[in-house]
Structure 1
């Protein structure tokens, strides 16, 4: 680590608001030249907003950003920003149909002298030189869509370096990598670091902090909490800083409840796919089970498999003793499975339809003879759901797009309940909704439990999981641990992150 010179990047007193939401509150970070610096924190801590500010995509309401002792460029000077910092995002920005060389120099391809015609020979030659210089083992003429996820990440890093920057932000770079690919990526990072590249490494996997980083900054509740050398902040202390438990009594999950006496509602036996492996679990009638895991853990795909939205490659699912046809939403609905999917905008709502039409979508055949829906029957069902879930709307005919995010999510919940399901699968049920809507949605899940339904909540948000009778944690495609009700934030976060509190 270089000393006696200004930090490579420094953010001071950054505040950023989006309407009433404070995304950053007098936050900051200092990244030194030549280090790999970890940025960690729970979802909603402010990490993504900080990255947007550090890369010039968002202007802070207050505070400043500096690069090597000089103020950041103006917002409109994108070329100057690219020379100072680049971000490789979790979702690939590679264009699959183009070659590696075309992706590396997209938007700034070499041209023939005194013309604006692209020189493809010079493009390929420069690409080969760039790949060789940074040790990226791919062919410049290869189709980008044929690359492994690991090699695609390295091409994105090389593309960032081609702009002249030596400061690269990595946003969850290992989320789609297995352990061997992760180890190879880290080897690449160490070699690039030795060559003068500085990384800001954002990850939910805390073991990576100790494996590849020299310094770590923790964000919590839109603020920077602590920055320290990795060797001075052992895992237990790091998790405490992320959860805030030293500053307040530990917040346990729901108090233990007697095991449900109802029958087994859902039985999963040795279910496997590309995303999860040999998973077995049960959910009882009148029980709420949490399924927690980070991106890449397989938890979301497992939840989607129960609802027919994702097709496993092996194993079996039974619903009240009857085998479920895998990968079929129709079969899941017929078996009595209702689902709140992960993305309400893409999977949960039909934006062209009204509130009533969205709520009653799966039960249209029950609302009139011969498939003809009687508007009065449709609206009656919708009004009952609106009242039961506390949906704020002008009425059943209002376009669903006119509702707030929280009320849209309640419409999705109402649609899941419209079939009177015996099993309810809720995937990230409170993502992107206001606090009151979060409470209402979770209270709806608890009412479903009281009515004898089996409920599976797939989430890594601690607030979603507190009411669960059990929480199953997935890491790397496997269920690794089960927490009974009464867990503390620190215990559950450690399991989700895939570390043990005994690591020092």
Structure 2
């Protein structure tokens, strides 16, 4: 298939063939054409050239949405579940009744039967907004299957899940495959491709590069196909950072506790040091990181940045802290604003006088940040909504670094981005440390944590272990899962 958007070729004579009943990975860097392919496979776009076939038959007409839903469904990285509706209402949205008023009792019974059939332990009467990310994804899968689709596209389904939740998702996927469900699995986490998929297709620069059985494509060969060059995980450029007492403390927490999240946490981060936090989704590490930047007020204890108390977000920013939040879509940027406006949002008061931003100064600062982080863009005027996921995340990182912070808190910086973007984002954290900033890096990705001088492992709201640089995966995972806690 070929698909063009003005002068941009999003797909260039690219194709994919997925065998009935297999789980087939689609991988490639941001901008490789994966999203465009998904939009075509789900009937949201028509290719300029080429065709889509299901079981050898031509795809339905674009206007026949019900026919498309019976063929294919997509569980997107950003949930399409409506939070204000119940699970039952979401499962049968626009299918609540035939003729006449909705019969709520039978509808909830149908929903409960559907959830039970597919092993989704969720109350059909619960508000969807109260579900976890994992539960929302399973509800979306059940909804797709209830429409008759036997081909499901999973787009970065593990980006916001912790280790145990990922394994539960994989168990459901294996069970569905055993029932004959075909899946296309899109992920930037290559280890997942090897764990759950039978075949893999690589796109690069809008073209199809290779399709092969996963067992016959070594890790380095897969990375080379994605990037056009050999390579693997990001390799730290730094030596060990300063030990305690050899540099000033730029970020400190003393006896922090917050009900339901963590308790009795004390921490000192020195200039030039990167401190990692690891743990499951229920470990409390996200809540702690958000407390450090002023998003939560602790029940007890204090946070200081450069000896200045942090009471809220403005006080943290004013003291010299930069922040990359967990979810770039919800918390990281304003989609319709430009790169320049997003990247300089926290320093607007420094780009003009009397509360008015000077466009030339804003543009100059944005151009510098675009160059520093290698953001692929038409220019600083481009809306962030038009960027690929990896480049949008770089804009969030740019904003965190815009004021040359002396302390940096970064949460899951590489979630849902490709190999090259990961290198740029982790490299930016290391460069900030080399300039003298102290950084806290919270991540679900073990490879991200390899740049840290030490990693603090949290389990059930407490720090249970400190691991120095050079740890093994087994050592860290055992601590994260509470094996040696």
| TM-score bin (small chain) | 0.5 to 0.7
1:241 to 193, 198, 222: 222
**Aligned residue in 1 for 2:63:** 76
Residues of 2 paired with 1:19 and 1:430: CA distance? 30
The equivalent of 2:90 in structure 1 is 103
Distance apart, 1:449 and its partner CA = 6.8
8 Å CA contact 2:332–2:396 kept in 1: the answer is no
C-alpha distance after superposition, 1:312-348 (max 9, x if no partner) = 789875534x37547x213313432245767599666
Measured against aligned partners, the alpha-carbon deviations of 1:69-105 in whole angstroms (never above 9, x if no partner) come to: 1222222221111111001223332234433332222
Which whole-Å deviations, capped at 9, do the CAs of 1:257-315 have from their partners, x for residues lacking one? 79578534335789898899999987654x4859799x979998776554334667898
Q: Give CA deviations for 1:425-445 in whole Å, capped at 9, x if unaligned.
A: 67899999xxxxx99999999
2:404 matches 1:404: no
Other structure's SS at 1:48 match: helix
Provide the residue aligned with 1:3 in structure 2: none
Q: What residue in structure 2 maps to residue 56 of structure 1? A: 43
1:159 is matched with which residue: 128, 143, 147? Answer: 143
Q: Residue 26 of structure 2 corresponds to which residue in structure 1?
A: 39
Q: Deviations over 1:180-222 (max 9, x none)?
A: 4444433333333222222222334444434433323334444
Alignment-derived partner of residue 320 in structure 2: 336
Q: Deviations over 1:10-54 (max 9, x none)?
A: xxxx33344555443333222111122233344444333322221
Separation (CA, whole Å) in 1 of partners of 2:466 and 2:45 = 39
Identify which of 319, 330, 340 aligns with 2:305.
Answer: 319
Contact in 2 for aligned 1:257/1:469 (Cα 8 Å)? no
Counterpart for residue 224 of structure 1: 208
- Structure 1 residues 29, 427: closer, same or farther in 2, change over 3 A? same
Given the alignment of the two structures, is residue 194 of structure 1 paired with residue 195 of structure 2, yes or no?
A: no
Deviation at 1:55, TM superposition (A): 0.9
Aligned to 1:127: 111
Match of 1:5 in 2: none
Judge conservation of contact 1:425–1:456 (CA < 8 Å) in 2.
Answer: yes
TM-score, length-scaled by structure 2: 0.65
- Which one of the candidate residues 298, 305, 308 is aligned to 2:294? 308
| 8 Å contact kept, 2:274–2:454 | yes
CA 1:183–1:343: 2 relative to 1, 3 Å: closer
Conserved 8 A contact 2:343-2:398: no
Q: Does residue 214 of structure 1 match 2:201?
A: no
Q: 2:251 matched to which residue of 1?
A: 266
Aligned residues of 2:335 and 2:383 also touching (Cα < 8 A): no
SS in 2 for 1:225: strand
For residues 102-142 of structure 1, give each alpha carbon's deviation from its aligned partner in whole angstroms, at most 9, with x where no partner exists. Answer: 22221122324xxx433445534543443454444445444
Tell me how far apart the structure 2 counterparts of residues 214 and 48 of structure 1 sit (CA, whole Å): 21
Say how many residue pairs are matched.
447
Whether the aligned pair in 1 keeps the contact of 2:367 and 2:380 (CA below 8 Å) is no
Counterpart Cα distance in 2 of 1:136 and 1:258 = 46
- Give the corresponding residue for 2:52: 65
CA distance in 1, matches of 2:132, 2:432: 43
Q: What secondary structure sits across from 1:63 in the alignment?
A: coil
Deviations 1:465-504 (A, max 9, x none): 9xx98688999999998889xxxxxx99xx9xxxxxxxxx
Q: Unaligned regions of 5+ residues in structure 1, if any?
A: 1-13, 368-372, 393-400, 433-437, 485-490, 496-504
Contact 2:221 2:230 in 1 (8 A): no
Q: In the aligned structure 1, how far is the partner of 2:21 from the partner of 2:342? A: 57
Q: Relative to 1, partners in 2 of residues 1:84 and 1:480: Cα closer, same or farther, differing over 3 Å?
A: farther
Q: Distance in 2 between matches of 1:318 and 1:357?
A: 26
For residue 153 of structure 1, give the secondary structure of its aligned residue in structure 2. Answer: helix
Contact 1:410 1:441 in 2 (8 A): no
Deviation sequence 1:241-263 (CA, Å, 0-9, x none) = 13549964659767557957853
Structure 1 pair 222–359 and aligned structure 2 pair: CA distance change class (3 A): closer
Structure whose CA Rg is larger: 1
Q: Distance in 2 between matches of 1:277 and 1:243?
A: 45
